[in-house]
Every structure is written in C-alpha cells, then in structure tokens.
Amino acid sequence: MQTYHSISAEVYNLDKPIGSSFGDVEYYSQRLSHVKGKILEPAVGTGRILIPLLEQGLAIEGFDLSEEMLAYCRDNLKMANKEANIFLANMETFQSEQQYEAIIIPAGTFLLIEDDDKAFQILTNFHHHLESNGRLLVDLFLQPDFSEGSSHYRTFTNNQGELITLQVTQSEVNYINQTTTSHHRYDKWKDGKCIESEFEIFTLKWYGINEFKRLLMQIGFRDIVISADYCYQQDPTNRNQVITFEAVK
C-alpha cells in the first residue's frame, strides 16, 4: 500500500473533511447503532468515519499504515474534543488480545490490497479478532470507467494559502490480476514556485460480487448480506454502485 504520504494525506484531509459523507457515515451509523462492544476500523485514515461514530457514543478505535494519516486523525480528534485509541499497524500482521463486536472497512479501502494471498490473510485475521457473532462490514466497488492513458487535474488550497495541484493519470488495467493502476503526481506551490512534489502509484483491485462472497464463506463467515449504495439489503443492479458486504463470524 504505497499511498497516503505527506501531500496525499494532506489532500485527503482537505478534500474529505470530518463530517463529509458519501452516504457511508449515515449507513455505518445505522448499522452499528446497537453495538455495545468494541468496534475496530482498520485503515482509519483521518477519522472521517471514526469521529462521527464516536460522537454517536460508540466505542470505536482504529489503526492505519500511514503515520501521516494518523497525524491528521489525532488533530481532528482534538478539534472534535474526542478521544480514541488510534495506532500504527498493518492489516495483515495486526495482533491484539482484544476481540471486537464489529470490524469495518468503509469507502473501498480494502481494494488497496492488490495481492490475493494478502487479502485472504487479512480477512482471516479479522475473522480471528471478531467475537462470536461479531460482524465484518466491507465496502467494495468496480471501476468500469477506467480509461488507460487519460488524465485529469485537481487543485486544492491549504490553510497556509499554498496551492496543491494533483494530476491523476490512469495508467493500466490488468484484467488477469483484476487491478487498475493510476499515477498520482502532487505538487505544492508557494509564490509561484514549486516547493514540494510527491508521486505515488495507486493500484486498486476489483472483485466480482459472488467471488468476494465465496471468499468470505471460505474463511468461515456466514449470514452474508449484500447491499448496494448504502441501502441495506438492496440488490446491486448496475456496475457503478458501491457494494457493502456484511458478514457474521
């Protein structure tokens, strides 16, 4: 997961501030509203979902592989006057004596795991860390409009008045491995001069719906519910929808 370093983490925090939602904040708030035990959010990022769930009174903690993202999460927790256990960890090697009533991976973050063996190990690890009858909730999506060679630009202004430009180039579709790869170039500008640059290779995997359901069943999950566009139990009907899997240990 070669993503979310200094400038890219800053852009994520600017582009998706606490309180912003794609429908996921409301959905996860509703689906977790009756949880009494601990909740874990791997790849917690800046706390975009964690903080609203804390404000709902849920006992949630999280970890991330990016120290830069965790730094923004800590700042956002302070601004929200909230406390949570957040820490640096890897999904694959994460170990804890704590078992959780729910583990959530919103916003397609699981698709950053491009290696099949690692994905299997991670899901197995989460299964191990769930209580009996605990739930795993994972968002996935397809990437039907990916066009090799196409580029687009975005611009952002940070609190210091610096301009950040982002060029996204859609580089490759690998139909064998079911991945897409984009190149992201970030440039930070001040007084007409580029003062910092960052380049990342951003690879996302995709899964067929039945493929991912079979993977969860192989690991030992049961009672799998599939929902589209954050409408519980609504069947997916087109390729552009966000698909949420909810599975029980």
For the stretch 76-119, pLDDT in tens is 999 999 999 999 999 999 999 999 999 999 999 999 999 999 99
What would the CATH number be for the domain defined by 6-142+207-248?
3.40.50.150
For the record, the structure tokens of 211 come out as 């493929």
Looking at residue 155, what is its pLDDT? 98
Pairing mode, if any, of strands 179-190 and 193-205? antiparallel
List the chain domain ranges.
6-142+207-248, 151-205
If pLDDT is split at 50, 70 and 90, which confidence band does 232 have? very high
For the stretch 164-210, pLDDT in tens is 999 999 999 999 999 999 999 999 999 999 999 999 999 999 999 99
Looking at residue 74, what is its pLDDT? 97
The amino acid at residue 198 is E
Cα gap 132→18, rounded to integer Å:
32
Strands (E), 21-162: 38-42, 59-64, 86-88, 100-105, 130-141, 151-157
Cβ neighbours for 107, distance < 8 A, ≥ 6 positions apart: 22, 24, 49, 139
If pLDDT is split at 50, 70 and 90, which confidence band does 213 have? very high
Region label for 113, one of left (φ > 0), alpha (ψ between -120 and 50) or beta (otherwise)? beta
Looking at residue 1, what is its pLDDT? 45
Cα gap 169→149, rounded to integer Å:
6
Of the candidates 149, 134, 143, the residue with the CA atom closest to the CA atom of residue 103:
134
Looking at residue 2, what is its pLDDT? 55
If pLDDT is split at 50, 70 and 90, which confidence band does 19 have? confident
